[in-house]
Every structure is written in C-alpha cells, then in structure tokens.
Structure 1
Amino acid sequence: MSKSFWRLVLSVSLAGLAAAPLAAADDPDVPYWASLTADKVNMRAGPARDYAISWVYRRDNLPVKVVRLHEGWRLVEDPDGTRGWILSRFLSRARWGIVQGKISELREKPDGTGKLMWRVEPGVVGRLGDCQNGWCRFDVHGHKAYIAADAVWGDGEP
C-alpha cells in the first residue's frame, strides 16, 4: 500500500477522534444542573483517574453545571467558572443553589414581599425549589423562604 493511502487512513482516523468530543458536547442531555454528593470530591484535568487532580471540593451539595459527558465522567463548571472532570457517581441531579454577589434577603412570599425571614451571605448553599417570576424557594438547613433568582447560581437554563 502506498504512503498516500496510509496518510488518508490516518487523517480520516484523526478526524473521527477530533469529532468525538464535539459530538459529546452536542449531547441532548447536556448542559444540566447537578450538585456534589460528597463532602470531598476531586476534579481532574481529564476524564480518568490517571489525570492530575486540579481541584478538591470540600462542599457537599455544591451546585455545578454539567457541560459534557464521557463514559462515567462529567465535565463540569463550578460557580466560579472553573471546569474539570468529576466521576458521575459524585453528582446528583438534585437542585441546589449558591448565593452570589452580596448579602441577600430570604422573604416569606414568592413575590419578594412579606416578612423578612433571614439574610444570607454569598457562599451559602441551599436546596432550590420552584422558581417563578424571579423568585425561588430556597431551603438552608430547614430555613425555608424565597430568594431573588438573580442572587442564586444554579437557577434557570444551565
């Protein structure tokens, strides 16, 4: 067989490999919101245990955005925009949010009116409930009220 034949075979093979990650990124199941299921989770530089650990999360229920699937691994983005790979068994589809920006008020009613129940600082993580008209049900260790949706990372379209 000629060199040109093998070059063609190699280029077609490489093109197929290059297209695989793009196909995974176009998966109809992604992006989606998820949350960490353990209080210690490693983020890796690639989708296998032999890749370097780039970050160690020590925050159960931290919300993340899943942007790509690869076998048992998920490429995720955290609230700060950092991306890396996490084993899917450490992720849940349970909806959690994290307060961002400034101290936010938790209100009694879903339209932002009613009694001020609590104030929460940036970094507080809570279970997200229904979000409508710019307000989300937010549960922080049993303290339930409504928070402005724009104060929480983890709401809306991922």
Structure 2
Amino acid sequence: KIPLFWKTMIQTVYDKKANCGLLRLAVPARLALKLALLALIMALFAVPLKAQENSNPSGYPLPRFASLRSEPINVRKGPGLRYEVAWVFVKEGLPVEIIQEFDTWRKIRDLDGQEGWIHQNLLSGARSGYIAPWNAEAKVPIRARANKDAKIRAWLTSKYLIKIKRCDGNFCEVSAANNSGVGRPDYSGFVEQAQIWGAYPNEIFK
C-alpha cells in the first residue's frame, strides 16, 4: 500500500499488454529530486572548496603585513625569476602587505597599491608601518603610554616610517628615527593603531 504522501508524488501508468504496473515520477517530483541531489552535491563540496581557497604554502593567514629584509629588491610581474621586473625597492624595512602565495613566492601590495611578486627570503616578519598615509596633513602624536591622555613625546607627520614592536588592538608600541637632526636620535612610545598603515584594525601581536 502506497502512503498518501507518495500518491501525490507518483503517477501509475498501467500497461495492459504487459500486464504490469509501471511507476513513473511525476514531472514536479522529478524536478524536486534533481534539485535535492544538486543541493546535496553542493553541500558535500562546499567545505573542501572553501578550505582550498584559503590554503597557502606558509600556513599563515592572508592578507598579512611584512617588511623588506634587504635592499635592493626586485619586484616581479609573476612568481618566478623568469618574469620581468616590475620595479625595484631601494630601501629595506619598508612595510608591504602579502596578499597571495605561490610556492616560495609572495604577492605583495605596497603603500601606493602597486602589486608584484617577491621571493619569501626577501621578506621579514618584523613589522613596520607608515603614519596616516591617507591624510597628507596628518600630525599624529607618539605618547609615553598607551593612553590618549598620556604625555606627547613627539608629533609624526603623514607617511612617517616607523618600526612596530607590538599592538594591543588600540595602540601600537613603536619607534621612529628623528629625521630633524635636533634632539634625541629617535622616538619611542605609543601611537593609536588606527593611524598606522602596517597594522590591521583590532590586530593584536607581540
């Protein structure tokens, strides 16, 4: 006996000559079955595909910031020595953002948004950054403590290069060379994290 539910999903075609009953899925039922199978296949492959998209040779998250280990450094148009040099970095310690990986090569983005490939051995995990490059008129204080009311030790202008020691999600402990030639040889203290290109908002590291 066929339950009432299945009676609505199945049509019975009776062939008198063959003296047998043939069950044929109704058109709406067949469509529903196909959609169900498609959904099942998508569910089975969704997780592996997502994992594959996020995988990278180093195992570190993407994107992430790094710095240039040496100078000069050739930035290439593709991940390999056979690719043409796009431009050359002439100063070490500059911050770059790693946005993709291929084998031992890293695709980076610089402050100006230019992208190219650098071998992993030419990059360092040491962190550096620029002060508020998005605001040419910026004057950002470097403070004695990680507090907005702490004493100001110096003012840093837009695109001032700094070394980042650690960040707590709100402030970063940094050091910066004194380019004025007056006073102490360098500055050290705390800068609001939101004012730095080289550390993500709310990123925490030591």
What TM-score bracket applies, with the shorter chain setting the length? 0.7 to 0.9
CA distance in 2, matches of 1:132, 1:30: 18
| 2:199 paired residue number | 155
- State the partner residue of 2:150: 114
Is the contact between residue 37 and residue 61 of structure 1 (CA under 8 Å) also seen in structure 2? yes
The Cα shift of 1:89 comes to 1.1
Partner in structure 1 of residue 190 of structure 2 = 146
CA contact (8 A) 1:67 1:77 kept: yes
* Deviations, residues 23-67 of structure 1 (Å, cap 9, x unaligned): 576424231221001132111110112211112112211111112
Return 5+ residue gaps in structure 1 as ranges: 1-22
1:46 aligns with 2:78: yes
Cα distance in 2 for partners of 1:112, 1:39 equals 36
| Secondary structure of the corresponding residue to residue 70 of structure 2 | coil
Q: What are the equivalent positions in structure 2 for 1:1-158 lying under 5 Å apart?
A: 23=52, 26-27=55-56, 28-31=59-62, 32-99=64-131, 100=133, 101=135, 102-141=138-177, 142-156=186-200
AA aligned opposite 1:29: Y
CA spacing shift, 1:40–1:121, aligned 2, 3 Å: farther
CA distance in 1: counterparts of 2:54 and 2:141, whole angstroms: 37
TM superposition outliers: structure 1 runs of 4+ over 6 Å: none
Report if the CA contact (8 A) 1:111-1:133 is conserved: no
Which amino acid in structure 2 is aligned with residue 73 of structure 1? W
> CA 1:75 to 1:46, structure 2 compared with 1: closer, same or farther past 3 Å?
same
What letter is aligned with 1:150? A
Contact 1:126 1:138 in 2 (8 A): yes
Give the distance between the partners of 1:62 and 1:24, measured in 2 at CA: 28
Flag the 1:118–1:86 CA change in 2: closer, same or farther, 3 A. same
Q: Aligned in 2, Cα 1:44/1:139: closer, same or farther, shift over 3 Å?
A: same
Native 8 Å contact 1:107 1:145 kept in 2: yes
What letter is aligned with 2:139?
I
Helix, strand or coil for the counterpart of 2:117?
strand
**Amino acid of the residue matched to residue 196 of structure 2?**
V
Which has the greater radius of gyration?
2
Q: TM-score, normalised by structure 2?
A: 0.60
Matched to 1:39, the amino acid is: E
Identity %: 24
The higher relative CO (CA closer than 8 Å, separation ≥ 6) is in 1
